[in-house]
Structure 1
């Protein structure tokens, strides 16, 4: 499989570790179910990015499952966290949203679904660490404006719709500046208080 996924390497790295491009995310170590669902979404055109749509267009489900399993099993080193370029007040807002949420604005904590260390949850909720600021911002924007969607209940679109531009700025700055947890593995299914889909399934 390592030879078969070389087409992915120029954007995502040979082991899925990511590259220097802000907009191509790390794949390594994410739950296989999440990766598989995203591959299907790209193949079937529900998630749109022409190079990915073209690359996956004729690949069958078992092949996509094998690709997902391969990248999920890889554990290359994580990149160094970003150095924050925002104020301490903005970082504090990002930390609050990520760890506690904002109930007054119907925003649950990211940690409720993505894990207390933000490493994701099996089988299909991704980790949020090791991603660059611009990528996180772009994905939150896609959820907010409906260009990225998931099967109902589309939890991420609902939650992201309650975020302001300042909230997105705060979240992306704080998450991208966090070091990886000592144990980068996704937490087991059912171990969190709110095991929601959170955009983990294609629509």
Structure 2
């Protein structure tokens, strides 16, 4: 006696329920990848991007950071990319959290660092600002907030390595001009306005030329005491 459509669907449903957990996870992962595929048209396959383009890598960034930036685009605090604003303007918090979680879970190899044509003196200045800051101008070192290895701090502070220099320069410019903002207090906006253009150029040159360490996961929050209570980062 041939099976009816109802019988066939029941068997398929049972097979899915009895499938090994790994197979079920792969199915769910494939479904999520399909839903978020539009993001990959700019940010690269699985969000990995490249080191010499303009769009930032979002793969492996802390989920809290990615979520905060999606909300900032949706709510008008980041205005420099109209396409991003258009993409997320009608999405719910729940959907944005899911999107952020998907890309945060993509732990992929990084490309080699960029070659930047600047003098050794410029690189030395950039290294000093990144690792030591400038106490005379009350500018904290980048490592104070972004982690000793500059790979970020969970749950919401991003890593700074493996990003294109053009992108880094553009973000400093956006903070200085107010087209990129965070919830108050906007620490990066304040710091960016204290930096001279030459400082920013040196910082981004040094960051872009640094290799990403083999262990590139964000540092756990408990291991770092952030010196600043920034608006989009829990203090």
Is the shorter-chain TM-score for this pair beyond 0.5, marking a shared fold? yes
**Structure 1 Cα separation of the partners of residues 146 and 138 of structure 2:** 17
Structure number with greater CO (CA < 8 Å, separation at least 6) is: 1
> Which residue, out of 105, 115, 132, partners 1:73?
105
Q: How far 1:43 moved relative to its partner?
A: 1.6
> Which residue, out of 112, 126, 130, partners 1:94?
126
Structure 2 matches for 1:126-141, cutoff 5 A?
Answer: 126-141=158-173
Q: What secondary structure does 1:161 align onto?
A: helix
Unaligned runs of 5+ in 2: 1-31
User: Residue 125 of structure 1 corresponds to which residue in structure 2?
Assistant: 157
> Which residue, out of 9, 16, 23, partners 2:47?
16
> After superposition, what is the alpha-carbon deviation per residue over 1:44-68, rounded to whole angstroms, capped at 9, x for unaligned?
2221121111111221111110100
Q: How far 1:105 moved relative to its partner?
A: 1.6
Task: Check 1:74–1:197 CA distance in 2 against 1; reply closer, same or farther (3 A cut).
Answer: farther
State which drifts further: 82-91 or 42-51: 42-51
Give the CA RMSD over aligned residues.
1.5
Q: How far 1:200 moved relative to its partner?
A: 3.8
**Structure 2 Cα separation of the partners of residues 140 and 199 of structure 1:** 17
Q: How far 1:167 moved relative to its partner?
A: 0.3
The aligned length equals 201
User: Residue 20 of structure 2 corresponds to which residue in structure 1?
Assistant: none
> After superposition, what is the alpha-carbon deviation per residue over 1:108-156, rounded to whole angstroms, capped at 9, x for unaligned?
1000000011000111010001101110011011112222111121111
Q: Which has the higher helix share?
A: 2
User: Residue 194 of structure 1 corresponds to which residue in structure 2?
Assistant: 226
Task: Check 1:128–1:200 CA distance in 2 against 1; reply closer, same or farther (3 A cut).
Answer: farther
> Which residue, out of 64, 67, 73, partners 1:36?
67
Does structure 1 conserve the Cα–Cα contact (< 8 Å) formed by 2:50 and 2:111?
no
**Structure 2 Cα separation of the partners of residues 21 and 84 of structure 1:** 10
Does structure 2 conserve the Cα–Cα contact (< 8 Å) formed by 1:157 and 1:199?
no
Larger radius of gyration between Structure 1 and Structure 2? 2
> Which residue, out of 160, 185, 189, partners 1:153?
185
Q: Does 1:169 align with 2:201?
A: yes
